[in-house]
Chain A
Amino acid sequence: MQIEPILRSLSSLQFVQPRRRPGVTTGERRSPRRGRSVEFADYRDYTPGDDPRRVDWNIYARLERPYIKLYEDEEDLTVHVLLDASPSMQWREENAPSSPKWERASQLAVAMCYITLISGDRLVIETSSRARYGPKRGVAATSGVIEFIERETLPAEIADGRVSPNRVTQSTNLNNWWKRYALDARPGLCIVISDFLDPDGYADGLNALGSSRLDLNVLHTLSPAELDPEFAGDLRLRDIETSATQDISLDDAALNQYRQRLTQWTGELSEFCRRRGGKYHLTDTGEAVEKIVLRDLRHAGWIA
Chain B
Amino acid sequence: MRGGLHETTASGESMNILNPIALVAALLAIPIVLLYLLRLQRREQTVSSTLLWRQVILDREANTLWQRLRRNLLLLLQLLTLAFLVFALTRPYLNLPSTLSGRIVVLLDGSASMRATDVSPTRFDAAKAEVRKLIDELGPNNEMSLILVDGSPRALASATTNKSELNAALDVAQPSLAAANWSAGVALAAAAAGSNSTDNAATTLILSDGVNADDLQLLTGNARFIPIGVSGDNISISNLSLRKTNRGLAAFVRVTNTGSQDDRVLVSVHSENVLLDARTLNIPAGQSVSWTVNGIDPLTAWVRASIDQANHNALPVDDVAYVVNAKDATRRALLLTPGNQFLEQALAVLPNLQVTRAITPSEQVDGKPYDLYVLDGLSMTLPARANVLFIGAQSIFTTSGSFSNTAFVRAEQHPVLESVDWRPVNTSEVRRVNTPAWLKPVIEGQGGRLLFAGEMTGENAPFGRVVLIPFELRRSDLPLQVAFPILIANTIEWLAPPQGLNIPASVRPGDVVALPRDAIVQLPDGNRVAVDQRGFAQTDQLGVYKVQFKDVNSTFAVVFSNPAESKITPNPNLQVGGVTPSSEVKPQYSQREMWGWLAVVALLLLMAEWWIYQRGLPVLRRKKL
Binding site for B on A (CB under 8 A): 87-89, 91, 94, 101, 160-161, 195, 197-199, 223, 225-226, 230-242, 244-249, 251-254, 257-258, 261-262, 265
Contacts and interface: CB of A to CB of B under 8 A. Distances in A.
B45 A251 contact: no
Contacts of B39: 234
B44, B53, B60, B621, most chain A CB atoms within 10 A: B53
Contacts of A249: 67, 71
Contacts of B52: 197, 226, 258, 261-262, 265
A25 B60 CA distance: 57
B56 interface: yes
Given A231-B623, A237-B53, A160 B46 contact: yes
B573 interface: no
Contacts of A225: 47-48
B610 to A, nearest CB: 14
B550 interface: no
A199 B54 CA distance: 10
A101 B49 CA distance: 13
B60 A234 contact: no
| 5 nearest A-B pairs in the assembled complex, by CB-CB distance | A161-B46, A197-B49, A91-B48, A88-B48, A236-B42
B42 A230 contact: no
B616 A251 contact: yes
A232 B42 contact: no
Contact of A230 (B50, B67, B618, B623): B623
Given A231-B623, A234-B43, A248 B48 contact: no
Given A245-B44, A247-B42, 8 more contacts: A225-B47, A232-B620, A232-B623, A244-B50, A246-B57, A249-B67, A253-B60, A254-B60
Contact of A240 (B49, B60, B621, B622): B49
Given A253-B616, A254-B56, A238 B44 contact: yes
Given A230-B623, A247-B42, A240 B47 contact: yes
25 contacts: A89-B48, A91-B48, A94-B46, A197-B49, A198-B51, A199-B51, A226-B48, A226-B52, A234-B39, A234-B40, A235-B42, A235-B43, A236-B42, A236-B44, A236-B45, A238-B46, A238-B47, A239-B47, A245-B44, A246-B53, A246-B57, A247-B42, A251-B615, A253-B616, A258-B56
B617 interface: yes
B48 A230 contact: no
A258 B620 CA distance: 17
A88 B47 CA distance: 8
A237 B47 contact: yes
B59 A232 contact: no
B48 A237 contact: no
Interface residues of B, number: 32
A241 B59 CA distance: 23
Nearest to B52: A261
Given A94-B46, A240-B47, A261-B59, A233 B622 contact: yes
A48 B623 CA distance: 78
Interface in B254-288: none
B246 interface: no
Contacts, number: 109
Contacts of A195: 48-49
Contacts of A230: 621, 623
B47, B57, B60, B622, most chain A CB atoms within 10 A: B47
A208 B62 CA distance: 38
Contacts of A161: 46
B342 to A, nearest CB: 109
Contacts of B625: 231, 233, 235
Contact of A237 (B45, B60, B67): B45
Contacts of B40: 234
B119 to A, nearest CB: 63
Contact of B48 (A223, A245, A261, A265): A223
Contacts of A89: 48
B55 interface: yes
Given A91-B47, A237-B47, A238-B47, A232 B622 contact: yes
Contacts of B57: 246, 248
A50 B616 CA distance: 79
Contact of B45 (A87, A199, A231, A261): A231
B60 A257 contact: yes
A235 B60 CA distance: 15
Interface in B466-520: none
Contacts of B44: 235-236, 238, 245
A197 B60 contact: no
Contacts of A223: 48
B618 A257 contact: no
A154 to B, nearest CB: 12
Interface string B22-55: 0000000000000000011011111111111111
A212 B7 CA distance: 98
A254 B64 CA distance: 11
A199 B49 CA distance: 9
A46 B51 CA distance: 62
Contacts of B47: 91, 225, 237-240
A2 B56 CA distance: 37
B49 A241 contact: yes
A226 B46 CA distance: 12
Interface in B604-625: 615-618, 620-623, 625
Contacts of B51: 197-199, 239
B56 A261 contact: yes
A214 B95 CA distance: 92
A264 B345 CA distance: 124
A251 B617 contact: yes
Contacts of B616: 251-253
A91 B71 CA distance: 32
Contacts of A235: 42-45, 625
B48 A252 contact: no
B125 to A, nearest CB: 58
A249 B67 CA distance: 8
A163 to B, nearest CB: 11
B45 A238 contact: yes
B254 to A, nearest CB: 87
A230 B55 CA distance: 18
Contacts of A257: 56, 59-60
Given A246-B57, A257-B59, A240 B46 contact: yes
Contacts of A234: 39-40, 42-43
A233 B55 CA distance: 18
Nearest to B47: A237
B617 A246 contact: no
A160 B625 CA distance: 13
A199 B48 CA distance: 12
Contacts of B63: 253
B37 to A, nearest CB: 13
A125 B460 CA distance: 146
Nearest to A241: B49
B68 to A, nearest CB: 9
Nearest to B59: A257
A198 B49 CA distance: 8
B50 to A, nearest CB: 4
Nearest to B54: A246
B622 to A, nearest CB: 5
A54 B419 CA distance: 160
B493 to A, nearest CB: 98
Contacts of A239: 47-51
Contacts of B54: 246
Contacts of B49: 88, 195, 197-199, 239-241
A226 B63 CA distance: 23
Interface string B573-602: 000000000000000000000000000000
A295 to B, nearest CB: 26
A251 B64 CA distance: 13
Nearest to A235: B45
A227 to B, nearest CB: 11
A195 B618 CA distance: 31
